[in-house]
Amino acid sequence: MSNVTTERAPSVYVPSAEALATVLAPSARPPRPSALGASLTFGWRAMLKIKHVPEQLFDVTAFPIIMVLMFTYLFGGALAGSPREYLQFFLPGIMVTSVVMITMYTGVGLNTDIEKGIFDRFRTLPVWRPAALVGMIFGDVLRYILAALVILGLGLALGFRPAGGVLGVAAGIGLLVVFSFAFSWVWTFFGLILRSEKSVMGVSMMVLFPLTFLSNVFVDPSTMPGWLQAFVKVNPVTQLVAAIRGAMSGDSDPSATMWLLVWSAGFLVVFGTLTMYRYNRR
C-alpha cells in the first residue's frame, strides 16, 4: 500500500517569456481579404465541420432517399399507373421538396453557432460583414448539390429517364442551387431573431410544409379547387419545379424560369437585407 509509484507526470505547460515574445512581436498587418476570399474561407470552415461531424450529412442522404422511395411507391400506381411512369413527372418535384426542406438547417446551424458564442468572434473580425453567413451558405450549397445528386442517382436507378440529357439535368440542378442559395437567407434571418434551435425548426416546418405540398410537386394543379390553384400558381416552389421539369425534359419553360429568378432575387434582397440588419444590430 505504501508503494510509491512514480508515474511520468503529464507535461505541464509553463508559459515561457521567450516563446511568447516570438509570437507577440508586432508584424505588418496583411491586407484585408476580399469579400469572396473571406466568404470562401468561411465556406472552408463548413467543409471542416462536415469532415469532423459526418453524421450531419444524414439529412442530405438518407432523408432524400426515404422521400423518393416513399412517395414514388405510395402515389405512383394511383396517379400515373406505375411508379416508373410517375417518376418521370415526380422526380424533379421531390428533388425540389427535399432540397428546399434541407435549407432550414441553415437557420438551425446559425442559431447554434450564435448560442455557442463563436459568432461573437466572427463579428469582431475586420472582414466583409456578410462573409460569415455567405460562407456558411456556400457550405450548405454543397450539401444541396449532394442531396440533388443522391436523388438523381436513385431516380436513374429506378427508371427516371430525363429527355434533356446531361445538360438539361445540370441546368435543372443549377436552377435549384440558385433558388436554394437565395431561399437560405430566409432562414438566416429566422436563425438570428429566434431564441432557440427548436423555435427555428418550428417556424421552418410551418413555412415549408404548405410551401412544398401546396404546389405542383405531387399532382397536376388542374385537379385542385380554384382557390387552391390561385395559391399554387404564385407559390415559388411551383415555378421552381416547372422550370426544373422543363430543363430536365429538354423543353425549357422560360416563363417559369424567369419567375423563379425573380423570386430568388426577391428572397436574396429582402431577407439578405433583413439578415444583415439584424446581424449588425444584435
Partner 1 sequence: MSRRTTGLAIEAEGLTRSFGETQALAGIDLQVPAGTVYGLLGPNGAGKTTAVRVLATLLRPDGGSARVFGHDVVTDADKVRSRVSLTGQYASVDEDLTGTENLVLLARLLGLRKPAARERAAALLAAFGLTEASDRQVKKYSGGMRRRIDIAASILNTPDLLFLDEPTTGLDPRSRNQVWEIVRAVVSHGTTVLLTTQYLDEADQLAGRIAVVDHGRVIAEGTPGELKSSVGSGTVHLRLRDPGQRPEAEKVLREALDVPVQLAADPVALTARVGEAGTDLDASAQAARALGDLARAGIVVDDFSLGQPSLDEVFLALTDHPAVPADERDDKLEAAR
Considering only residues 211 through 230, tell me which ones interact with partner 1, judged by CB under 8 A. Answer: none
5 interacts with partner 1 by CB under 8 A: no
Nearer to partner 1, 84 or 129 (CB): 129
Q: How far apart are CA 275 and CA 82, in angstroms?
A: 45
The residue range among 7-15, 71-79, 155-163, 182-190 that interacts with partner 1, by the rule CB under 8 A, is: 7-15
Nearer to partner 1, 19 or 163 (CB): 19
Nearer to partner 1, 46 or 268 (CB): 46
Shortest distance, position 282 Cβ to partner 1, whole Å: 7
198 interacts with partner 1 by CB under 8 A: no
Q: Of the candidates 66, 70, 74, 125, which one interacts with partner 1 according to CB under 8 A?
A: 125
Q: Of the candidates 5, 6, 124, 222, which one interacts with partner 1 according to CB under 8 A?
A: 124
DSSP 54: G
54 interacts with partner 1 by CB under 8 A: no
The residue range among 33-41, 196-204, 231-239, 259-267 that interacts with partner 1, by the rule CB under 8 A, is: 33-41
Shortest distance, position 24 Cβ to partner 1, whole Å: 4
Q: C-alpha cell of 24? A: 507577440
118 interacts with partner 1 by CB under 8 A: yes
- Please name the residue that has the C-alpha cell 440558385: 178
Shortest distance, position 207 Cβ to partner 1, whole Å: 25
9 interacts with partner 1 by CB under 8 A: no
Q: How far apart are CA 120 and CA 15, in angstroms?
A: 27
Element (H, E) at 246: helix 236-248
Judge contact between 263 and 236, C-beta under 8 A: yes
Q: How far apart are CA 177 and CA 109, in angstroms?
A: 19
DSSP 124: T
Judge contact between 176 and 144, C-beta under 8 A: yes
Q: Of the candidates 1, 53, 78, 157, which one interacts with partner 1 according to CB under 8 A?
A: 53
Nearer to partner 1, 52 or 226 (CB): 52
Identify residue 128 by its one-letter amino acid code: W
Q: How far apart are CA 277 and CA 193, in angstroms?
A: 11
3-class secondary-structure state, position 194: coil
3 interacts with partner 1 by CB under 8 A: no
Enumerate helices (H) and strands (E) in the chain, giving the number of each.
12, 0
The residue range among 79-87, 122-130, 153-161, 260-268 that interacts with partner 1, by the rule CB under 8 A, is: 122-130
Contacts of 3 (CB under 8 A, 6+ apart): none
36 interacts with partner 1 by CB under 8 A: no
22 interacts with partner 1 by CB under 8 A: yes
Identify residue 115 by its one-letter amino acid code: E
Compute CA distances 149 → 91, 231, 248, whole Å.
12, 30, 14
Q: Contact residues for partner 1 (CB under 8 A)?
A: 11-17, 19-27, 29-33, 38, 41-42, 44-45, 48-49, 52-53, 116-118, 120-121, 123-127, 131, 281-282
